[in-house]
């Protein structure tokens, strides 16, 4: 709904106002009739300057129904983005946001969705699920993913152009951030995933970066070494490496004990089905 003055309506509004004025001056018209005519003139004037588009009400109803399908992660990320001045147009709805880690095994590539990213995995990449209404479809949008570490530094930036189609879209970053053996990740802690669409912040999603098993074991070994001097450096080093490898393997088995290899589409589809059933 918007206000728009149309000059061509002034002619018939003036004629209608003149007719009401003549009726008011005549003694034959009662006061109730005059008030009724004035009300009709007022409604006609409002109808001539206020433009109502039925499709706007349809879009709003669609947006309300689509918002009910948003995941808890998406609602949190959108709200955090809004508090930072982000904006997402009403014809677009962020249904889901998250991270997918990958790990190569003998049986193939294992992928899992998580909010606790372990540096034992091979890599991690972000994704969003976007619902596009027809009036925002059939155009190319620029989507930017960023990882911000606990010190506020950018550790991952990936920008991609995506053609928006009508309906639900799963948008996954083309490249992942390496994890295992990545010395560019200085520390671990609370990180942020920030998603931009055409330069506007649409999601701010927090997650935790967890050190690898080897790093945790090395930290413990350092603390123990400070209290007790090693009797044999070579034997101690070999034992530490063997224990680190065994602990890492045990941790990986524990984390993935119940995981079955799934394709990316199956992973996202199962998540969307769970959101729809809630």
**Please, which pLDDT band fits residue 68 given cuts at 50, 70 and 90?**
confident
Q: What is the pLDDT of residue 212?
A: 82
Sequence-separated (6 or more) residues with CB below 8 Å from residue 104: 110, 122
What is this structure's pTM? 0.65
- Of 36-50, 166-180, 190-204, 241-255, the one with minimum mean pLDDT is 241-255
**Is pLDDT of 253 > 50?**
no
- Of 87-91, 116-120, 208-212, 239-243, the one with minimum mean pLDDT is 239-243
Q: Is 72 helix (H, G, I), strand (E, B) or coil?
A: helix
Q: How much of the chain exceeds pLDDT 70, in percent? A: 57
102-145 pLDDT tens trace: 988 887 888 999 999 999 899 999 999 999 999 999 999 999 99
Q: What is the pLDDT of residue 42?
A: 75
Longest dimension (CA), the chain: 120
Alpha carbons 204 and 194: distance in angstroms, whole number: 5
Sequence-separated (6 or more) residues with CB below 8 Å from residue 240: 217, 218, 221
Q: Enumerate the domain spans of the chain.
A: 2-52, 68-213+248-277
How is residue 97 written in tokens?
Answer: 């946001």
Q: Are 72 and 23 in contact (CB under 8 A)?
A: no
Considering only residues 96 and 185, tell me which one the structure prediction assigns the higher pLDDT. Answer: 96
**Is pLDDT of 225 > 60?**
no
**Is pLDDT of 62 > 70?**
no
Q: How much of the chain exceeds pLDDT 90, in percent? A: 41
176-217 pLDDT tens trace: 999 988 888 867 899 999 999 999 999 999 999 998 877 666
Q: What is the pLDDT of residue 40?
A: 73
68-213+248-277, what's its fold?
Immunoglobulin-like (2.60.40)
**Please, which pLDDT band fits residue 1 given cuts at 50, 70 and 90?**
very low
- Of 72-86, 135-149, 222-236, the one with minimum mean pLDDT is 222-236
Q: Is 19 helix (H, G, I), strand (E, B) or coil?
A: helix
């Amino acid at each position: 709904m918007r206000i728009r003055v149309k000059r061509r309506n002034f002619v018939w509004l003036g004629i209608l106002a003149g007719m009401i004025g003549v009726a008011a001056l005549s003694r034959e018209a009662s006061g109730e009739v005059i008030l009724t005519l004035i009300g009709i003139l007022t409604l006609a004037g409002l109808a001539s300057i206020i433009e109502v588009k039925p499709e706007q009400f349809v879009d709003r109803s669609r947006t309300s129904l689509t918002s009910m399908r948003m995941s808890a992660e998406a609602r949190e990320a959108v709200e955090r983005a809004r508090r930072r001045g982000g904006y997402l147009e009403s014809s677009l709805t962020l249904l889901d946001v998250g991270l997918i880690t990958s790990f190569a095994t003998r049986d193939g590539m294992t992928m899992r969705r998580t909010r606790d990213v372990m540096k034992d995995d091979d890599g991690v990449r972000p994704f969003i699920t976007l619902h596009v209404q027809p009036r925002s479809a059939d155009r190319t949008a620029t989507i930017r993913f960023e990882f911000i570490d606990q010190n506020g530094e950018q550790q991952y930036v990936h920008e991609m152009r995506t053609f928006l189609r009508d309906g639900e879209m799963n948008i996954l970053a083309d490249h992942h951030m390496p994890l295992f053996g990545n010395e560019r990740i200085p520390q671990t802690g609370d990180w942020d995933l920030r998603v931009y669409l055409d330069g506007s912040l649409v999601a701010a999603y927090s997650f935790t970066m967890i050190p690898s098993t080897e790093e945790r074991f090395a930290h413990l070994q350092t603390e123990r070494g400070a209290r007790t001097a090693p009797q044999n450096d070579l034997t101690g080093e070999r034992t530490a490496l063997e224990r680190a490898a065994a602990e890492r393997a045990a941790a990986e088995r524990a984390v993935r004990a119940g995981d079955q290899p799934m394709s990316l589409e199956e992973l996202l589809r199962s998540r969307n089905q769970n959101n729809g059933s809630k």
